[in-house]
Structure 1
């Protein structure tokens, strides 16, 4: 009988690439991970890893086992969900990961609804960047999480996760009042201006380099024929809008963050979209706690958007 915990370590090695990364994800020592994988090789009766110096790669047998192990892990998630479905009432922790804007706008109503309908749930929220959500789900630090991407920077789906759509947002160009483009001064409607083209010489408030928001801004601006010139870097949209209101630059703002802009900010809608999805481990869709969260946050999103 193969040990499920060791199978999970092998799958994580295939995903993360190094024993050190697997050890960090599980708060083990690299030596402990190596020992567990060696025991798995003895259980299988053939080599699963090829070691060259400090490098480790999967053998053909290792790759075959990973493919079947992912099926086993999905089946275990489905089993857990089925057992939870026959229990009386929802109890225990539900660990939720979400990006700051969603924590501020969508999660409060979601948590109130879940708390009222399922008082036995222990709701635990972690605020984190969407790029960190898949790893947290794989490592079982989260049960559900919110992912997002932009139509100009699509993210490849993770085959080990299932997702459902939550929100498709307009992205706005945030400008200080009086800054071009100003359709009224142009003598036309909103479509008369080239909102991005008129900011090619402006200072920009951009997210931290390497984040999805920063990459999306680069793509949008380069498609308009220029590279944005950053003056400030900020990842919290409240801070971004405050800097725009102070005349410190222009920025791109998704709809969730644009609900209540401060005085001195003008928002121009763009064709770019930001897309948010609810994610959980494959096989967990039928878990009652997962289903309850999906229903609650979808309702909270509809209410927030006034649908």
Structure 2
């Protein structure tokens, strides 16, 4: 590769492609996430390599892996993206904000149990701001956040979510969401308030897809309790899950954020004995964007609403950053 010239410049759009390749790990998955072809992704990375004068990928079997130079560049790319967000926030702050639009990407349980109160309050606090909601979860949620399709992400921490130390995002803890056990009304344990999760090891389970937050968290909770669940139904929709439990088709873990879905169902809701399983709900924005006055108000309202007992429910614990 040639030495970097004195007129060194980088196409920020190509940096976005490289950042997504780091997240997805393959050209094909990167292409799918960015709605490009694998060939187009490869061309973008090759063009960026020419711009910076260093190899950015190398062959790894049938795929590619990032080079050391690519990781150096990505560290700077994260700082560049954060600084651009700060510049945008400063410009918005110059006009005191209060106008425009904000898109909140949120997991389904957050839309059910958290966002209604947030949106009602923001309607009063930001009457001139358009508020849009998109249901999404990692990793797609953070791809949308990176590209600007989403301004605020609300997610649960699990394997597909970014690490706490990811410099691309400013992260704000909202609450810990307790997970209860939903069983059919006629279940052998229905009369008990607290049960060891392991007592349900022989039951049929209703659990979401392993790649989804719903499925990944439930599987990890069962594994921590010492068993692999017998999954009879794979369902990611909370309403459908509650209906199947009511129909006697199995047992399930249900977060208290969605308690309205099963409160009026003919199901028994039990508390796990000992330390109950928890999900950690957080909000994230692109690093530097928290300085935008409108984004700051949205984050503030998310925390205020998460603090209210009527939102978090008995046993849920609001967190403060």
- Equivalent residue for 1:284, pick from 271, 275, 289: 289
Structure 1 residue 183: Cα displacement: 5.6
Q: Output one character per residue of 1:12-58: Cα deviation in whole Å (capped at 9) or x when no partner.
A: 33333344444444434445444444443443344444468974444
Question: Counterpart of 2:268?
Answer: 266
Query: Do 1:153 and 1:219's aligned partners in 2 also have CA atoms closer than 8 Å?
Result: no
Q: CA 1:86/1:209 → structure 2, altered by over 3 Å: closer, same or farther?
A: same
Aligned-partner Cα distance in 1 for 2:57–2:234: 43
Query: Do 1:98 and 1:126's aligned partners in 2 also have CA atoms closer than 8 Å?
Result: yes
Aligned-partner Cα distance in 1 for 2:216–2:39: 37
Counterparts of 1:76-87 in structure 2, within 5 Å, are: 76-87=84-95
Q: CA 1:125/1:9 → structure 2, altered by over 3 Å: closer, same or farther?
A: same
Query: Do 2:172 and 2:283's aligned partners in 1 also have CA atoms closer than 8 Å?
Result: yes
Counterparts of 1:1-307 in structure 2, within 5 Å, are: 1-50=9-58, 55-149=63-157, 156-157=163-164, 159=166, 160-182=168-190, 190=193, 194-259=195-260, 261-270=263-272, 271-301=276-306, 302=308, 303-305=310-312
Q: Output one character per residue of 1:203-232: Cα deviation in whole Å (capped at 9) or x when no partner.
A: 222212332332333333344343322222
Q: CA 1:57/1:121 → structure 2, altered by over 3 Å: closer, same or farther?
A: same
Gap regions ≥5 residues in structure 2 = 1-8
Q: Tell me the secondary structure at the aligned position of residue 285 of structure 1.
A: helix
Structure 1 residue 112: Cα displacement: 2.5
Q: Tell me the secondary structure at the aligned position of residue 133 of structure 2.
A: strand
> What is the count of residue pairs matched by the alignment?
299
Query: Do 1:47 and 1:59's aligned partners in 2 also have CA atoms closer than 8 Å?
Result: yes
Q: CA 1:127/1:4 → structure 2, altered by over 3 Å: closer, same or farther?
A: same
Query: Do 1:175 and 1:251's aligned partners in 2 also have CA atoms closer than 8 Å?
Result: yes
Q: Tell me the secondary structure at the aligned position of residue 248 of structure 1.
A: coil
Aligned-partner Cα distance in 2 for 1:124–1:60: 39
Q: CA 1:42/1:262 → structure 2, altered by over 3 Å: closer, same or farther?
A: same
Structure 1 residue 252: Cα displacement: 0.6
Query: Do 2:107 and 2:136's aligned partners in 1 also have CA atoms closer than 8 Å?
Result: yes
Query: Do 1:237 and 1:257's aligned partners in 2 also have CA atoms closer than 8 Å?
Result: yes
Query: Do 1:174 and 1:251's aligned partners in 2 also have CA atoms closer than 8 Å?
Result: yes
Q: CA 1:197/1:287 → structure 2, altered by over 3 Å: closer, same or farther?
A: same
Q: Tell me the secondary structure at the aligned position of residue 236 of structure 2.
A: coil
Gap regions ≥5 residues in structure 1 = 185-189
Query: Do 2:183 and 2:250's aligned partners in 1 also have CA atoms closer than 8 Å?
Result: yes
Q: CA 1:227/1:79 → structure 2, altered by over 3 Å: closer, same or farther?
A: same
Instruction: Give the TM-score normalised by the residue count of structure 1.
Output: 0.84
Aligned-partner Cα distance in 2 for 1:34–1:131: 21
